[in-house]
Amino acid sequence: MRIDIISVVPDLLTSPFAHSIMKRAREKGLLEVNVHNLRDYTPYRQAQVDDYQFGGGAGMVMMPEPLAILLDKLKSERNYDDVIYMTPDGTMFEQKVANRLSMKENLIIICGHYKGIDDRIRQMYVTMEISIGDYVLSGGELAAAVVVDAIGRLIPGVLNDETSALFDSFQDGLLAPPVYTRPADFRGVKVPDILLCGDPKKIDEWRHEQSLQRTRERRPGLLED
């Protein structure tokens, strides 16, 4: 999978993909992440990429020309499945969205900044708009990193245990059950006996019941959905 990210502050995206699972995914050649500095594609002097709003109002708007120049360049080089814009008013990012996007081959992610991008870019280029929550960040870079991480770990071969991602929270609409490791007795609190019984069927049944209970207590809305 290839993901191209457009940003006005690309340095924010250096660390998230240089460590842990995302680093291994890139080293294995399973995930290619390219971060493009929008300022390198502006036709304006002093690397300008934003301007005042028509109609007045506080905050600057990302200009259409630099984005169009870069998007046209990328789209001329390969076919993209989606052009994603990270924005607070987008569709809420959920596990099912990550699952669907992980099946794609090429994606572009536009990171908003200031008051956002000129709406004509949204009309002409963007095919999908994503929000990671009902709050506002300084820019779309951190949100883009979240999306790429959630997608990347689902690519076959990225995780050492191929089944690991299948049992994450939200994959079956439930929260994940509690997990334990050694020692079996930690400061007087013991691992549930069922996990030591050696019967996979009984353990699976216990985990499912624990998932249901945890979901009822913490996220009952998931059960309603």
Burial class from Cβ neighbours inside 10 Å (0-12, 13-18, 19+) for residue 195 reads middle
Q: Is 133 left (phi over 0), alpha (psi -120 to 50) or beta?
A: left
- C-beta separation of 112 from 84 below 8 A: no
Burial class from Cβ neighbours inside 10 Å (0-12, 13-18, 19+) for residue 49 reads buried
Cα separation values, 121 from 87, 136, 144, 216, Å: 13, 20, 18, 42
Number of domains into which the chain is organized: 2
At residue 145's C-alpha, the angle toward residues 139 and 148, to 5°, is 135
Tens digit of pLDDT for each residue in 49-107? 999 999 999 999 999 999 999 999 999 999 999 999 999 999 999 999 999 999 999 99
pLDDT for residue 173 is more than 90: no
Residue whose token pair is 């691992």? 191
Please report, for the domain that includes residue 28, its CATH number: 3.40.1280.10
> What pTM, to 2 d.p., does this model score?
0.89
Domain that holds residue 119: 2-152
Please report, for the domain that includes residue 199, its CATH number: 1.10.1270.20
Domain boundary among 96, 123, 152: 152
pLDDT for residue 163 is more than 60: no
CA–CA separation, 31 and 131 (whole Å): 22
Q: Examine the domain organization and report whether 133 and 173 are in the same domain.
A: no
Q: Examine the domain organization and report whether 37 and 110 are in the same domain.
A: yes
Longest CA pairwise span in the chain (Å): 70
